[in-house]
Structure 1
Amino acid sequence: MSTTLFKVVKSHAAPNTGSRATDWRDNALCRSDQYDADTWFPKGTDAASMDAEQEAVRICRRCPAMAPCRDWAIETRQDHGVWGGLTAQDRADLRRHGRIPKKRTPIQAFASIQDAYGALTRKDGRHVIWIGGNEVRIGSVRMSPNQVAWRARRKTPPVGRVFPDCQTDGCVRHLNDQAMRQERDVQKRETAACGTRSGYQKHRRNGETACDPCRRANADADRNLRKTGTTTTERSAA
């Protein structure tokens, strides 16, 4: 293993320390005889080379000298090899953008909605939890987890956007679409209780004379709206 003090591009071993003070290089894993210098310089862009590069990154991330090694490689513009847990492309991205762009996870593709739903969900009591990514491809169409689950369970397309109807994180069993939301709004209006602003509005929609409790509740809500900008009190004292 070479002991050159980073003069040759492909030297990745720690230097001879006899003529300098101890520093981060003394603790570097790449000094170990366990690794060959070529470990940090995978050749090619084929799958095997990419796997080798990621293995070098994993070794670097266990190294106690990772941070200073990384900083040194960036400052000295090392254009080849893995240093401090960063590949040459990572360092180029840092110089160009000031950060390493997140690597996008490939969108999983399935032949059918049922295939995607079966592969990317798991049952959890009364819930069905989505365990896939934020998007899947069914044929040439991209779909969200909620769209996949809705169509898989109901066999029909939703009306408008699909939203979760459950407090459980990732649940795609309890969903609602625009038609369901509109139906609930109608039911809510129809069952509005007397003695509330909603009850007063129900009387008006039905062409009825509002009862006293509803008139008082509506007046209280109007006063509150003028004072605070919101109608927080629905029900007035009898």
Structure 2
Amino acid sequence: MSTTIFKVVKSHAAPDTAGRTADWRDAALCRSDLYDADTWFPKGTDAASVDAEQEAVRICHRCPAMAACRDWAIETRQDHGVWGGLTAKDRADLRRHGRIPKKRTPIQAFASIQDAYEALTRKTGQHVIWTGGNEVRIGSVRMSPNQVAWRARRKTSPVGRVFTDCETDGCVRHLSDQAMRQAREATRKATTERSAA
């Protein structure tokens, strides 16, 4: 009786990744040939390892993929190395204390204050409601919704901080700056003094 045994030979070629969708890893600075991969995975606690770890953190803070990398490392519970500007100890502390960084939405940029105001507000009865994020960028300057609304409506810069004088959430129509608040206080004092006399 004759038996034939076939041996299956598997190829050890790298998987085809040419068709894979691009993701945050493609923009990561740590993939660059400029840096040694060991920088992100220092071994030991000696001064050289600590220096390497801090250098990795500094590089991460310049990386366009930092937030996505950090979120991925926390979600997948990476226990070693520097990911997204956080050391293994930083990530462990965040998990232990429940302070996982929230995902940040990018700051919207506009060419002018008026463009931002028109794009991110809607009129509702007597109120103008801000529909954008907590700040916008006009050129290279970051501004709060109150600052944008003040300048767009009054065409002047406010004196000091701008606060909402309205109980309606998100309203940027009823605002006051430091000069208005001081004038109100002076009027209130004068009225109180007249009433007392």
Identify the TM-score tier after normalising by the shorter chain. 0.5 to 0.7
**Separation in structure 2 between the aligned mates of residue 138 and residue 194 of structure 1, nearest angstrom:** 46
Equivalent residue number for residue 112 of structure 1? 112
Q: 1:184 to 1:93 in 2, by over 3 A?
A: farther
**Separation in structure 2 between the aligned mates of residue 189 and residue 140 of structure 1, nearest angstrom:** 41
**Separation in structure 2 between the aligned mates of residue 93 and residue 186 of structure 1, nearest angstrom:** 59
SS at match of 1:122: strand
Q: 1:88 to 1:120 in 2, by over 3 A?
A: same
Equivalent AA in structure 1 for residue 161 of structure 2: R
**Separation in structure 2 between the aligned mates of residue 101 and residue 92 of structure 1, nearest angstrom:** 14
Do residues 150 (structure 1) and 127 (structure 2) align? Answer: no
**Separation in structure 1 between the aligned mates of residue 180 and residue 78 of structure 2, nearest angstrom:** 47
Pairwise CA distance, 1:162: 0.3
State the TM-score, normalized to the length of structure 2.
Answer: 0.54
Residues 221-232 of structure 1 mapped to structure 2, 5 A cutoff: none
Supply the RMSD in Å over aligned alpha carbons: 2.7
Q: Is the 8 A contact 1:93 1:101 kept in 2?
A: no
Structure number with greater Rg is: 1
Equivalent residue number for residue 122 of structure 2? 122
Pairwise CA distance, 1:193: 6.2
Pairwise CA distance, 1:115: 0.4
Q: 1:113 to 1:44 in 2, by over 3 A?
A: same
Do residues 91 (structure 1) and 76 (structure 2) align? Answer: yes
Equivalent residue number for residue 168 of structure 1? 168
**Separation in structure 2 between the aligned mates of residue 130 and residue 177 of structure 1, nearest angstrom:** 18
Pairwise CA distance, 1:190: 1.4
Cα deviation per residue 1:9-48 (whole Å; 9 max; x = unaligned)?
xxxxxxxxxxxxxxxxxxxxxxxxxxxxxxxxx956437x
Equivalent residue number for residue 132 of structure 1? 132
Q: 1:93 to 1:183 in 2, by over 3 A?
A: farther
Equivalent residue number for residue 101 of structure 1? 101
Residues 142-221 of structure 1 mapped to structure 2, 5 A cutoff: 142-192=142-192, 199=196
Cα deviation per residue 1:108-158 (whole Å; 9 max; x = unaligned)?
000000000000000010000001000100000000000000000000000
Find 2:23's aligned residue among 46, 60, 64.
Answer: 46
Equivalent AA in structure 1 for residue 115 of structure 2: D
Equivalent AA in structure 2 for residue 160 of structure 1: G
SS at match of 1:169: coil
Pairwise CA distance, 1:186: 1.0
Long gaps (5+) in structure 2: 1-18, 27-70, 80-90
Q: 1:163 to 1:93 in 2, by over 3 A?
A: farther
Pairwise CA distance, 1:102: 1.1
Equivalent residue number for residue 141 of structure 1? 141
Tell me: higher relative CO, structure 1 or 2? Use CA pairs within 8 A at least 6 residues apart: 2
